[in-house]
Structure 1
Amino acid sequence: MTETPTAPQLAIDADLQAKLDRLRAIFTDMDRVLVAYSGGIDSTLVAKVALDMLGDDVLAITAVSPSLMPEDLDEAIAQAQFMGLTHELANTHEMENPNYASNPVNRCYFCKSELHDTLKPLAKERGYPYVVDGVNADDLQDYRPGVQAAKERGARSPLAEVGITKLEVRQLSQSLGLSWWDKPAQPCLSSRFPYGESITLEKLARVAAAERYLRNLGWRQVRVRSEQETARIELPPERIGEFVTSTDLDALVQAFKAAGFAYVALDLEGYRSGKLNRVLSSEQRQEYVRA
């Protein structure tokens, strides 16, 4: 991201305005707050509203690890600068935890445990009584072990508390003039691996290189799923035909092989959020769903 122009503002209806008012009230009551800020639209909206209410009493921290693409970190930094947000980086070390690197079905629990075990003492040391994240109301309906880890460590999720959905996050972001209101979701690179396949630094690097190649071709909503030695590309279903006819497939295959993959495949179903969770039993899903 080289620039962050102000977006044309969108008028919101009375119900969403009421949610925004309640969100603002939450931050007014908090006084000083540390935001777990990934640079995604959820945590960025949280940071923006907190900043509007509390000004210099807001600190945003972005966790830096091998599962974060450098480009996404650059965007997070640029967005924080655009908003005038006090922003710092903190290294996390989830890859050193075998419970994370072995990629069990609750891998995200160990990721968020590491994140909040890093942020909580930092907040206490700096005098911030609250740590908040960007979990929204829709997240509580999906399999999200990380939500439980954050809750156990005392973090709050203001968007979820107010009942703001992902669509409403985008609407509010546009209404507040944030140019990245339609930014695609970019979960960590570890989410590209099927449960049970171990995650290594080398595997993360090859996924990052493959997705970077596709982003440089202009594809915003894209995933490269890594299954052993195979890269499986996911794109919006309605654009698969365009991809096949407009892309130099030979060049793409060679680029993916140079990144470290042996095979390249295209998922004909297309991109679906949470697709890897299909293998989970209903019991596994319910363990961490907090409706």
Structure 2
Amino acid sequence: MSLHALQHRLRQIGPAAIAVSGGIDSLTLACVAADLIPDSVIFHAVSPAVPEAATARVRTFAQDRGWHLNVIDAGEFSDMHYRANPVNRCFYCKTNLYGSIAAKTKSPILSGTNLDDLDDVRPGLIAAKDHNVQHPYVDAGIDKPGLRRIARDLGLGDIADLPAAPCLSSRVLTGLRIEPGELQAIDRVESRLRPMLPGADVRCRRLAGGYKLQVSADVLDRMQPSETEAILAAATAALGHEGTLLGLSSYRRGSAFVQ
């Protein structure tokens, strides 16, 4: 069973520092590791690129489950390489993250990377290798469906069905400078729309001419004109004076990423 394989790997590693973003992958890993090895420490980085809901989720889990939580500022917004938003932006993000964690602990650093992540373009994995970060899901042969099953088996509630939610900087077209105010606007828009579109993938992309909404194709196809109007009105209100809304289209994974 995948859970047993994961537990076996975590026992081999021992007390660790677990980097938790607030998504299903790292939260599930933290739950398993902290229950198995109470000396484990959970690290969560806060910045304009991290949705407020993700930080709130981590704090709730930490309080409910008695985690040793260390909330840090990884400092990526002081890194001009990161702010320039190059193709390998994630490398600079993770370099700052893992460097900040390593400065606070001598324990092995663990990430929520799973097998499916190895099939995608992940500059952050290079930074992980540079800092000797370990990936227990990969070691245990666990992919995304497998870790969702683990979350359900552990009774982790709604997080088992959380849609993928990369950092807010991933919404910004490659080459456009990362600006905190724009990320906050993106977070406001997505937070406003998710309750209106439960279970759907929702993205607010920062493009050269403004902001573009993207929603799961199946949901978009079923949307009535009045619903579309309501979505656009809510997004415009949440965006405020930050920029121009360019409309609504089908969700395409990684469509702000340009190689």
> Considering the TM-score relative to the shorter chain, is it more than 0.5?
yes
**CA 260–171 in structure 1, closer or farther in 2 if over 3 Å, else same:** same
Deviation of the 1:198 alpha carbon: 0.9
Is the Cα–Cα contact under 8 Å of residues 210 and 259 in structure 1 kept in the other structure? no
Aligned to 1:155: 133
Alpha-carbon distance between aligned partners in 2 of 1:232 and 1:250, rounded to the nearest angstrom? 10
In structure 2, the gaps of 5 or more residues are none
Which amino acid is 2:132 matched to?
G
Structure 1 position 114 matched with structure 2 position 96: yes
Structure 1 position 27 matched with structure 2 position 10: yes
Residue 140 of structure 1, aligned match among 118, 138, 142: 118
Alpha-carbon distance between aligned partners in 1 of 2:137 and 2:194, rounded to the nearest angstrom? 29
Residue 79 of structure 1, aligned match among 58, 61, 70: 61
Residue 265 of structure 1, aligned match among 241, 244, 247: 247
Alpha-carbon distance between aligned partners in 2 of 1:224 and 1:243, rounded to the nearest angstrom? 18
Deviation of the 1:218 alpha carbon: 4.3
Q: How does 1:94-113 map to 2 (within 5 A)?
A: 94-113=76-95
Structure 1 position 240 matched with structure 2 position 220: yes
Aligned to 2:176, what secondary structure does the other structure show?
coil
Residue 62 of structure 1, aligned match among 37, 44, 50: 44
Alpha-carbon distance between aligned partners in 2 of 1:275 and 1:87, rounded to the nearest angstrom? 34
The count of aligned residue pairs is: 255
Alpha-carbon distance between aligned partners in 1 of 2:255 and 2:245, rounded to the nearest angstrom? 20
Residue 201 of structure 1, aligned match among 158, 167, 180: 180
Structure 1 position 274 matched with structure 2 position 254: yes
Deviation of the 1:252 alpha carbon: 2.8
Which amino acid is 2:169 matched to?
S
Deviation of the 1:140 alpha carbon: 0.8
Alpha-carbon distance between aligned partners in 1 of 2:178 and 2:86, rounded to the nearest angstrom? 10
Deviation of the 1:52 alpha carbon: 2.5
Deviation of the 1:212 alpha carbon: 2.0
**CA 218–78 in structure 1, closer or farther in 2 if over 3 Å, else same:** farther
Deviates more, 1:169-178 or 1:213-222: 213-222
Deviates more, 1:187-196 or 1:75-84: 75-84
Give the TM-score of the pair, scaled to structure 1.
0.82
Q: How does 1:166-177 map to 2 (within 5 A)?
A: 166-177=144-155
Deviates more, 1:150-159 or 1:103-112: 150-159
Give the TM-score of the pair, scaled to structure 2.
0.92
Deviates more, 1:213-222 or 1:162-171: 213-222
Percent identity over paired residues: 31
Is the Cα–Cα contact under 8 Å of residues 9 and 139 in structure 2 kept in the other structure? no
**CA 184–228 in structure 1, closer or farther in 2 if over 3 Å, else same:** same
Aligned to 2:156: 178
Aligned to 1:211: 190
Is the Cα–Cα contact under 8 Å of residues 108 and 133 in structure 2 kept in the other structure? yes
In structure 1, the gaps of 5 or more residues are 1-16, 281-291
RMSD of aligned C-alpha atoms?
1.8
Alpha-carbon distance between aligned partners in 1 of 2:13 and 2:69, rounded to the nearest angstrom? 19
Aligned to 1:3: none
Deviation of the 1:137 alpha carbon: 0.5
Alpha-carbon distance between aligned partners in 2 of 1:49 and 1:217, rounded to the nearest angstrom? 32
Alpha-carbon distance between aligned partners in 1 of 2:78 and 2:238, rounded to the nearest angstrom? 27
Alpha-carbon distance between aligned partners in 2 of 1:257 and 1:181, rounded to the nearest angstrom? 29
Deviation of the 1:181 alpha carbon: 0.5
Is the Cα–Cα contact under 8 Å of residues 25 and 113 in structure 2 kept in the other structure? yes
Which amino acid is 1:22 matched to?
A
**CA 141–252 in structure 1, closer or farther in 2 if over 3 Å, else same:** same
Deviation of the 1:74 alpha carbon: 0.4
Alpha-carbon distance between aligned partners in 1 of 2:149 and 2:112, rounded to the nearest angstrom? 15
